[in-house]
Amino acid sequence: MLLGIDASRAVAPHPTGTEIYSRCLIRALLTLDPSLDVRLYFRSAPPDDAFPGAELRVIPFPRLWTHLRLSWEMARCPPDVLFVPAHVLPPVRPPVTLVTVHDLGYLYFPQAHPWPQRTYLDLSTRWSAHVATHILADSRATKADLISQYATPPAKISVVYPGLDESLAPVRERDVIEAVKARHGIQGDYFLYVGTLQPRKNLARLIAAFAALESDATLVLAGQRGWLYDDLWAGVRRQGLEGRVLFPGYVSAEQKAALMSGALAFLFPSLYEGFGLPVLEAQACGCPVVTSDTSSLPEVAGDAALLVDPHDTAAITAALDRLTADSPLRRDLIARGLVNLRRFSWKTSAQAVLQIVEQTV
């Protein structure tokens, strides 16, 4: 059996959730069974030795890579099974296909996406869910959404949790943390958010909650600029928080670990998440977490986070105030977080995917 995988997102220079998922799951599959015949399809060449043991097929194309170039490759020389780790199957594909649907947040918060992007996400995901042989959902919440929103048969969906980078661990060296803080102009205590800066992440309300907090701490919002970023920065200026809300931009994995390890708390009050990998990353770095009580986030965080209504600014402020003042609570959440992590591993994810592939063929 030849397993083909769309690996186009696995080599993104600045990976976020979907890209991390693709890269780590592919590597885990290759490590799990070195005898497995795997062909990876790339839009651009991956680094040398990034995916040992796989056949690499680099097929550049300027636009509509999935719809045109990958389709042509499927027509010309198809694998026995095609796995797409990110929503969209090509129109031309082998008879057996597997696709991961990460979330349907665009349906719940359409205002958080430009309308062309929202329309594309809806149509392409709806179509992929319909034509796929089997679907992987990142969480029970996403599976429930597929059933309720797209009438997908429950038997067609398997919940396979993403894993976590096992190299992530608390940074104990204070000088390392201070060096990363200095690089980004952070002084003293700080709260941290890491992720794309876009409306669905609820950052405008987080900034308002922080503004109401009586504290000398800083709020650090790290991540790539997304849609309506300028509105977010304008809100910071209107509230006179220019010196207390910092935007360091995208941070590397090493810097992220240090920032999470040194933060008072990791804040993730997102309006909707299909999984919420940053919650686990913060727990792995020994950082207490405040996150939303909606979508998949309670499922992921377990009993190791303060859960808040993401629409309630006062509740977010109260959670920040509580963590600032309650050191025993912070220590308890850190300990619970390290236990919670045991539920998630890329090896377990890869085993589940391989079992589904074998049952589907």
> Which residue in this structure is represented by tokens 């236990």?
339
Q: Please tell me the total count of domains within the chain.
A: 2
Position 236 in a domain: yes
Q: For residue 198, give the nearest of 273, 280, 135, 254 by alpha carbon.
A: 273
Q: For residue 338, give the nearest of 140, 171, 193, 170 by alpha carbon.
A: 170
Distance between CA atoms of residues 300 and 340, nearest Å: 9
More confident residue, 252 or 83: 83
Structural domain for 304, as ranges: 174-343
Element (H, E) at 265: strand 265-268
Give yes or no: residues 66 and 178 share one domain: no
pLDDT value of position 194: 95
Give yes or no: residues 242 and 99 share one domain: no
Helix axes 174-183, 253-262, angle to 10 degrees: 110
> Which residue in this structure is represented by tokens 């205590």?
189
> Which residue in this structure is represented by tokens 């600032």?
324
If you average pLDDT over residues 318-347, what whole number do you get? 96
> Considering only 8-12, 43-47, 103-107, 227-231, which range has the smallest mean pLDDT?
227-231
Give yes or no: residues 155 and 183 share one domain: no
Q: What percent of the chain has pLDDT over 70?
A: 99
Give yes or no: residues 159 and 191 share one domain: no
3-class secondary structure, 154: helix
Query: Tens of pLDDT along 337-356?
Result: 999 999 999 999 999 999 99
3-class secondary structure, 83: strand
If you average pLDDT over residues 134-147, what whole number do you get? 97
Query: Tens of pLDDT along 257-311?
Result: 999 999 999 999 999 999 999 999 999 999 999 999 999 999 999 999 999 999 9
**Residue 117 clears pLDDT 90, i.e. is over it:** no
Give yes or no: residues 126 and 8 share one domain: yes
Give yes or no: residues 330 and 349 share one domain: no
Give yes or no: residues 245 and 126 share one domain: no
Radius of gyration of the CA atoms of the chain, in A: 21
Position 169 in a domain: no
Distance between CA atoms of residues 143 and 153, nearest Å: 10
38 phi, psi to nearest 5 deg: -125, 130
Distance between CA atoms of residues 59 and 101, nearest Å: 24
Give yes or no: residues 294 and 159 share one domain: no
Tell me the C-alpha to C-alpha distance, in Å, between residue 109 and each of 105, 142, 270, 309, 349: 6, 15, 11, 16, 29
* Beta strand 96-101 pairing with 157-159: unpaired
